[in-house]
Chains A and B, each alone.
Chain A
Amino acid sequence: SSELTQDPAVSVALGQTVRITCQGDSLRSYYASWYQQKPGQAPVLVIYGKNNRPSGIPDRFSGSSSGNTASLTITGAQAEDEADYYCNSRDSSGDHLRVFGTGTKVTVL
């Protein structure tokens, strides 16, 4: 199976901007989706497709992509954004297989 690589941890000051990246060969051809997971809770979709937010997700969350890298940006991070974030995309080893990124722990200082 293919891999999607994320930085293990990033920190951001309250109200500042943080970008989380996801790298993998499959991202050259397929969009990533992004999930937020807080301790003891199920993942929540925050970004999908080119740059789409589900209903209820604040507009401080945005997505972008370039080459083999997908990015999730939080502009004006809030305390409640502290969580683990995972990207997901198609596995390049099989059309119908999926793969998650390694995950990034975001700490809001």
Chain B
Amino acid sequence: EVQLVESGGGLVQPGGSLRLSCAASGFTVSSNYMSWVRQAPGKGLEWVSVIYSGGSTYYADSVKGRFTISRDNSKNTLYLQMNSLRAEDTAVYYCARGRIVDYGSGSYAYFDYWGQGTLATVSS
């Protein structure tokens, strides 16, 4: 059974740092396309970052240069290092497993499994 369990959220002051973890079971993180998605209180979903199986990483403009996505293959765990945090980074952060499907004229991706989320609050 595929499971994703996030941890590491909490209260941090503006300008501080947090590292979120997403422990996976039932599949291998390093063989999959993995993303972080966040949701500010009362707001919609916002895509944050992705790491491909090959190790390439990409970020939303809102977090580029401040957040780093990584993984530990030995622990089968995904991470999100968040630095220089701002009040607007306050959100529930979800990790999600992505799938990429290649078809004749292109490809598409989707997120088939999600964790339960961890809340990061940036406030003084």
Query: How far, in whole Å, are A30 and B110 apart by their CA atoms in the complex?
Result: 11
* B114 in contact with A97 (CB, 8 Å): no
Question: Which of A1, A30, A43, A44 has the most CB atoms of chain B within a 10 A radius of its CB?
Answer: A43
Q: Interface readout for B43-77 with A: 1 if CB under 8 Å, 0 if not?
A: 01111001010001010110000000000000000
Query: How far, in whole Å, are A29 and B108 apart by their CA atoms in the complex?
Result: 10
Please give me the residue from chain A that is nearest to B33 by CB atom.
Answer: A96
A90 to chain B: which residues have CB within 8 Å? 108-109
Q: A1-B61, A88-B111 are in contact. Are A42 and B50 (CB under 8 A)?
A: no
* B44 in contact with A100 (CB, 8 Å): yes
Interface size bracket, A side: 20 to 34
Q: Interface readout for A92-108 with B: 1 if CB under 8 Å, 0 if not?
A: 00101111111100000
Please give me the residue from chain B that is nearest to A86 by CB atom.
Answer: B45
Which among A54, A91, A102 is the interface contact of B44 at CB below 8 angstroms?
A: A102
Question: Which of B47, B58, B99, B108 has the most CB atoms of chain A within a 10 A radius of its CB?
Answer: B108
**What's the nearest-Cβ distance from chain B to residue A1, in Å?**
6
Question: Which of A48, A54, A86, A91 has the most CB atoms of chain B within a 10 A radius of its CB?
Answer: A48
* A98 in contact with B50 (CB, 8 Å): yes
**What's the nearest-Cβ distance from chain A to residue B26, in Å?**
14
Please give me the residue from chain A that is nearest to B4 by CB atom.
Answer: A42
**What's the nearest-Cβ distance from chain B to residue A99, in Å?**
6
Query: How far, in whole Å, are A89 and B60 apart by their CA atoms in the complex?
Result: 14
Provide a sorted-by-A list of 14 A–B residue pairs whose CB atoms are within 8 angstroms. A33-B111, A43-B94, A43-B111, A44-B114, A48-B108, A49-B108, A88-B47, A88-B111, A97-B47, A98-B47, A100-B37, A100-B44, A100-B45, A103-B45
